[in-house]
């Protein structure tokens, strides 16, 4: 299988992983710009300032995407051609709608 065949699986799972990480506060690490430091645990806001969680959300989405691409390698070729092209469009759209709904409080 080529990279082009794995990209739809990666993109579908990345979108869902990113959305899940943002919605449920899952982050493998945080970046504290005041300290210029990455941390695996939460630090006190009084000492470290506010964290940037976005890097952790991206890493979580990438881990999900790599996992899905690995699973796609083991799938029969027919499933790959039927499932991933549809999922690579539907899952990111669904994740975007959910995240817009979740972020509505920031704009109202």
Q: What is the mean pLDDT of each run of 10 residues along the chain (108 residues)?
A: 77 94 94 94 89 96 94 83 84 94 88
Residue 74: predicted pLDDT: 85
User: What are the φ/ψ torsions at residue 32 (nearest 5 degrees)?
Assistant: -110, 100
User: Considering the entire predicted model, what is its pTM?
Assistant: 0.86
Residue found under tokens 């065949």: 5
pLDDT value, residue 53: 94
Identify the sign of the CA torsion 25, 27, 33, 38.
positive
What confidence score (pLDDT) does residue 6 get? 85
Residue 2, pLDDT score: 65
What is the per-residue pLDDT for 77?
80
- What is Dmax (Cα atoms) for the chain? 55
**For residues 99 and 108, what is the distance between their CA atoms, to the nearest angstrom?**
15
Q: Are 58 and 18 spatial neighbours (Cβ–Cβ below 8 Å)?
A: yes
pLDDT of residue 66: 95
Question: Phi and psi of 50, rounded to 5°?
Answer: -75, 140
């Amino acid at each position: 299988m080529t990279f082009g065949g794995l990209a739809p699986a990666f993109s579908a799972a990345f979108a869902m992983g990113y959305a899940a990480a943002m919605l449920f506060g899952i982050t493998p690490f945080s970046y504290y710009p005041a300290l210029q430091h990455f941390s695996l645990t939460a630090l006190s806001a009084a000492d470290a300032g506010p964290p940037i969680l976005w890097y952790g959300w991206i890493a979580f989405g990438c881990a999900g995407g790599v996992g899905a691409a690995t699973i796609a390698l083991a799938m029969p070729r027919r499933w790959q051609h039927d499932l991933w092209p549809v999922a690579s469009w539907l899952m990111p759209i669904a994740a975007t709608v959910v995240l817009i709904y979740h972020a509505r409080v920031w704009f109202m």
